[in-house]
Amino acid sequence: MSEPQDVPPVSAEAWFTARLAFETDPADVAADRAAGRPLVLLDVRSRPAWEQGHVPGARHVPGAELADRLGELPPAAEDPSVVVYCWGPGCNGSTKAALVLARAGYRDVREMIGGYEYWAREGLAVETAGGRTRRAVDPLTGVAPPG
């Protein structure tokens, strides 16, 4: 397999370091929140998807509206830590939204890989109009706590 001619070669170390600087996952987001680390959690799915369930405490701005609604977020000049999520691995809405934020001057933007799907499948709290709940941990995504 040959490398594209117009892309400079990158070491594996540089590649994975960069990925970890711009990606996070549901377990790490949950740990950051439990530790009290300030972050803006941004759900960029549609209104019906949001209403079906979302991460408690997340803000909702559909991706198609994000560029016009940046004023609803802390200003980029305050350098907030922003974590963006969409539906799941088959959705690139969070990638597109993270790019909008980066172009708007946000420096600490990360994409929550796995999105809402893996948040819920890992048994983390979800919120709907009916309140907060947790699903059982999906054995394909995590290990259920003992007991």
Compute the chain's Rg from CA coordinates. Answer: 16
Strands 126-128 and 131-133: antiparallel
Long-range contacts of 132-139 (CB under 8 A, 24+ apart): 132/56
- Contact 83/41 with Cβ under 8 angstroms? yes
- Reduced to 3 states (helix: H, G, I; strand: E, B; else coil), residue 117 is helix
Tokens 């370091």 appear where? Answer: 17
Per DSSP, what are the bridge partners of residue 23? 111
Catalytic, 86? Answer yes
**Which of 86, 120, 124, 126 does the annotation list as catalytic?**
86
Per DSSP, what are the bridge partners of residue 84? 42, 111
- Give the active site residues: 86
